Amino acid sequence: METIAYQKLSSGFYNRPDVLKIARELLGKIIVTKFNGELTSARIVETEAYAGVVDKASHAYGGRRTARTEIMYREGGVAYVYLIYGIHQLFNIVTDGVDIPHAILIRGAEPVTGVPVMLQRTGKKVADFTLTKGPGNVSKALGITIGHTGESLLEDEFCLVSDGFTPLAEDIVATPRIGVDYAGADALLPYRFIIRGNKYVSGKPSQNNPR
C-alpha cells in the first residue's frame, strides 16, 4: 500500500509579505486537527485574503487594534477565529511579520479524514457538500472554535500540511470576496481564490467566475 508523506507547513510559509500569494498557495493544502484525540482533516479549496491596514474589508483597516483583532498583529502562523451572527466561528490564518495584520479566511475545504467525527460535530446525517462548504461549516466540522485564537499552526494537534498536491494554474480562479460590500471599492478586489469546479466551494455560480 502506498504511504502518503505529509509535510507540515513551516513558519516561513506564513511569514511572507504577499498575502495574495499565500492565499493562492494555500489552495490544496490540508488543515489537520487532533482535538481530544479525534483526528480530522480537510483540503483547502477556497480562501480570501485580507491585506491589513490598507484593506477596507479587513478588521485591521486603518490600524484598528482591539481585543479581538490584536492577534492579527502577531507573527504569521497563528489562528484567528472570530464569531459572526452569534453562531458561526470563522477560521483565519495570520500571515506576514509582527505588526503587519495580514490574514486569510478559509472559506471552503474538502474532507480528507475523520468524516464520521465531522458528522457528529455538525449534527449532519449525510456527508454531502455542505459538510465543509462555507467558512462556518469548515470550522465546525474541524472542531475549530474562538478558543483556538492565538494558537500556533505549527503543532501536531493543529496544523496545515502538504501532501504534494498543487492545483493546476488554470484551475485556480480569483474573484471578489463575498459579503464585504461595506468595503466600497475594496469589495471588488480579486482577493478570493477558489479551485474551479470543486463542489465544496461556497458562493453562487455568478460569484465563482473570474473578474
Give the whole-angstrom CA distance, residue 156 versus residue 160: 9
What pLDDT sits at residue 1?
A: 39
Q: What percent of the chain has pLDDT over 70?
A: 98
Instruction: Quickly state the pLDDT bin for 139 (edges 50, 70, 90).
Output: very high
Q: What percent of the chain has pLDDT over 90?
A: 91
Record the pTM.
0.96
> Which residue has better confidence, 142 or 206?
142
Give the whole-angstrom CA distance, residue 163 versus residue 13: 15
First to last CA, the chain: 43
Whether residue 111 contacts residue 118, with contact meaning beta carbons closer than 8 Å, is answered with yes
Whether residue 103 contacts residue 58, with contact meaning beta carbons closer than 8 Å, is answered with yes
What pLDDT sits at residue 27?
A: 98
pLDDT at 2 over 70: no
Give the chain's domains with CATH numbers.
7-199 (3.10.300.10)
Q: What is the mean pLDDT of the segment spanning 171-197?
A: 97
Whether residue 117 contacts residue 40, with contact meaning beta carbons closer than 8 Å, is answered with yes
pLDDT at 210 over 80: no
Q: Which of 2-6, 66-70, 141-145 has the lowest mean pLDDT?
A: 2-6
Q: How many other CB atoms are found less than 10 A from the CB of residue 80?
A: 26
pLDDT at 4 over 80: no
- Residue pointed to by grid coordinates 465563482: 208
- Please choose, from the candidates 174, 4, 153, the residue with its C-alpha nearest in 3D space to the C-alpha of residue 81: 153
- Please choose, from the candidates 71, 70, 53, the residue with its C-alpha nearest in 3D space to the C-alpha of residue 62: 53
Give the whole-angstrom CA distance, residue 30 versus residue 39: 13
> Which residue has better confidence, 1 or 73?
73
